[in-house]
Amino acid sequence: MIKKSTYIRSFTTTQLKQLEKVADAQNIKTVPEILFYSLDSYLAQKKEIENLKKTISLKNDSINSLELKLDFFKSASKKIHELSTFLKKEK
């Protein structure tokens, strides 16, 4: 259970419950430790999110590049088919 100190009184009931869940899950005893743990976790998650965004961006660029190549090959295939049909008619 978290003791009601001066800075804890400003938390809402929901926030207190969330702090208690973190404390129980991580076996943390004091509010400052909970807050520092939460801050560290937040910063680590923020860094991971940025890395994931970069990965997604690279994958999207790769997909766009492949789609352009696919469009080119479809167009080339169509032209080859048209040329083949034309040459068959000429014979």
58-82 pLDDT, tens digit each: 999 999 999 999 999 999 999 999 9
pLDDT tens column, 10-51: 778 898 888 888 889 988 888 788 888 888 999 999 999 999
Task: Please answer whether residues 2 and 18 qualify as being in contact, where contact means their C-beta atoms are separated by less than 8 angstroms.
Answer: no
pTM: 0.60
Which are the contacts of 20, defined by CB distance < 8 A and separation ≥ 6?
A: 1, 2
CA quadruple 58, 60, 66, 69: dihedral positive or negative?
negative
| Cα diameter, the chain | 95
